[in-house]
Amino acid sequence: MSAKKLAATVINVSLEIIFAALAIIIIYNCGIKAYSFGFSIFADQAIASDPGRDVNVSIDADMSTYEIGQLLEEKGLIKDAKLFYVQMKLMAVSDEVKTGRYTLNTSMSAEDMINTITTDEQETQQTEQEEE
């Protein structure tokens, strides 16, 4: 009887140690990913160094902030659409996106791209070029 209790105790303690170790590993990995995501929000690094390459992008009126991020990610202008979405929300400019065609560059930071698509400057430049 005492051998069975001892075996059950050893198994219980072993399982508790295994579950505790797994919990620590999961919490650690989540912390690393959260830190990396948070750092990326504020580090605001460009995909490429100067001069980069120009990419034409069309933003439609029915596109959501996340869809714009997905478009920029597909075009190779940003690394992560979710990160771009969060940056737009933190800058409180999600509702200020101007529709139109933009020429963005891979050497631009996400903040520069956000500023470009939320101001009328690029549209004015595009319109002037089209009129010529």
Task: Report how many domains make up the chain.
Answer: 2
Cα–Cα distance measured from residue 14 to residue 61, given in angstroms and rounded to the nearest whole number? 58
* Helix ranges, the chain (H): 2-43, 65-74, 81-90, 110-117, 121-131
What is the pLDDT at residue 45?
Answer: 80
**Does residue 87 contact residue 72 with C-beta atoms inside 8 Å?**
no
pLDDT tens per residue across span 71-105: 999 999 998 899 999 999 988 888 888 888 999 99
Write out pLDDT tens, residues 40-78: 888 878 887 788 889 999 998 889 999 999 999 999 999
Contact 101, 126 (CB under 8 A): yes
Residues 117 and 64 both lie in one domain:
yes
Q: Are residues 91 and 32 in the same domain?
A: no
Q: Is this model's pTM higher than 0.85 or not?
A: no
- Please indicate, yes or no, whether residues 125 and 79 belong to a single structural domain of this protein: yes
Which domain, by its residues, includes 79?
54-131
Could you read off the pLDDT of 14-30 as tens digits, one per residue? 999 999 999 999 999 99
The answer to whether residues 34 and 76 belong to one domain is no
